[in-house]
């Protein structure tokens, strides 16, 4: 924050002068850059990005004996060992639902414009659905994630519930045509989560997924997530703009976060099941990537 403050004062701007819109956009873009920076450095990528299934059943880093490791390596290893269970994802959605309800009460959603009400309701639906899925689809898995991932996830769901209010106008025309798209993406994502859960409990250990809706994709649930936020950016467009730029920044964060995770997922599938079994399957974008 101190360096952000210095950088801003260098261009004649103080943190306290920044509008919430600017702060939210800076947060999403800075977090995206941080994820890309970690992804670019192998020593950081291997320790801090992989979570859940991707850190199980693979050979992992080849480390020298502990006494030969540098202080930096030991510090990084210690930081990477600060983990929480993967199923702490449930906390994200409890947080999201509570924030949705808090802002609804604080900003009188019942008196808000139709566009704000729709965007708020779609985000509440996303939080509620994911919360229920997290409870219903909890397996006995012991998989884990880095604690900073958990903190960043909480920050995302706290801020996204502000982001849907700060720029969305009360009564602009809005791109209503995209509302069915969000609902469809939510339904598809639900079907993929339910499939992964069945895969997890019906077999001993992880399997290579082959879902009927997306037979050629390894992470269709990630694709749905990005589509949901991208469509919200269009639905919440202010008057005179075709898109809500604060939600576009949030979408960039989601796409970066999940894109990097999808890269690790494909590497893990190749290592675990073999390149021949994974074949030409794409990560998130049908037929392209």
Ligand X SMILES: NC(=O)c1ccc[n+]([C@@H]2O[C@H](COP(=O)([O-])OP(=O)(O)OC[C@H]3O[C@@H](n4cnc5c(N)ncnc54)[C@H](OP(=O)(O)O)[C@@H]3O)[C@@H](O)[C@H]2O)c1
Question: Residue 209, Cα to own-chain centre: how many angstroms?
Answer: 21
| Residues 235-274 within binding reach of ligand X (CB under 6 A) | 254, 257-258, 261
Q: Which of 25, 47, 221, 266 binds ligand X (CB under 6 A)?
A: 221
Q: How far is the CB of 108 from ligand X (least distance, A)?
A: 27
Nearer to ligand X, 104 or 227 (CB): 227
Q: Are 216 and 287 in contact (CB under 8 A)?
A: yes
Q: Are 268 and 209 in contact (CB under 8 A)?
A: no
Nearer to ligand X, 134 or 168 (CB): 134
Q: Is 48 in the site for ligand X (CB under 6 A)?
A: no
Query: What are the two backbone dihedrals, phi and then psi, of residue 75, each rounded to the nearest 5 degrees?
Result: -65, -45
Q: Which of 73, 90, 143, 194 binds ligand X (CB under 6 A)?
A: 143
Burial class (CB in 10 A: 0-12, 13-18, 19+), 187: exposed
**DSSP 3-state of 167:** coil
Q: Total residues at the site for ligand X (CB under 6 A)?
A: 22
Q: How far is the CB of 200 from ligand X (least distance, A)?
A: 4
Q: Are 94 and 87 in contact (CB under 8 A)?
A: no
Q: Are 281 and 217 in contact (CB under 8 A)?
A: yes
| Residues 194-213 within binding reach of ligand X (CB under 6 A) | 196, 199-200, 206-207, 209
Q: Which residues bind ligand X (CB under 6 A)?
A: 52-53, 86, 89, 139, 141, 143, 156, 189, 196, 199-200, 206-207, 209, 221-222, 225, 254, 257-258, 261
């Amino acid at each position: 924050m101190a360096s952000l403050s210095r950088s801003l004062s260098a261009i004649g701007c103080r943190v306290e002068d920044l509008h919430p819109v600017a702060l939210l956009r800076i947060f999403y873009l800075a977090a995206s850059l941080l994820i890309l920076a970690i992804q670019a450095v192998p020593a950081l990528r291997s320790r801090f990005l992989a979570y859940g299934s991707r850190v199980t059943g693979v050979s992992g880093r080849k480390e020298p004996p502990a006494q030969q490791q540098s202080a930096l390596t030991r510090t990084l290893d210690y930081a990477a060992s600060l983990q929480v269970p993967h199923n702490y994802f449930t906390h994200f959605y409890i947080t999201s639902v509570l924030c949705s309800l808090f802002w609804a009460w604080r900003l009188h959603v019942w008196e808000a414009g139709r566009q704000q009400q729709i965007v708020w309701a779609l985000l509440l639906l996303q939080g509620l659905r994911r919360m229920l899925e997290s409870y219903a689809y909890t397996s006995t898995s012991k998989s884990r994630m880095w604690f900073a991932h958990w903190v960043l996830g909480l920050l995302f769901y706290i801020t996204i519930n502000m982001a849907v209010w700060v720029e969305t106008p009360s009564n602009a025309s809005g791109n209503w045509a995209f509302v069915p798209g969000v609902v469809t993406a939510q339904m598809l994502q639900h079907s993929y989560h339910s499939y992964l859960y069945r895969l997890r409990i019906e077999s001993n250990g992880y399997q290579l997924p082959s879902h009927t809706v997306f037979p050629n994709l390894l992470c269709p649930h990630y694709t749905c997530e990005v589509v949901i936020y991208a469509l919200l950016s269009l639905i919440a467009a202010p008057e005179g703009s075709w898109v809500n730029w604060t939600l576009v920044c949030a979408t960039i964060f989601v796409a970066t976060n999940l894109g990097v995770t999808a890269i690790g997922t494909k590497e893990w599938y190749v290592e675990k099941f073999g390149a021949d079994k994974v074949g030409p399957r794409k990560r998130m974008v049908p037929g392209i990537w």
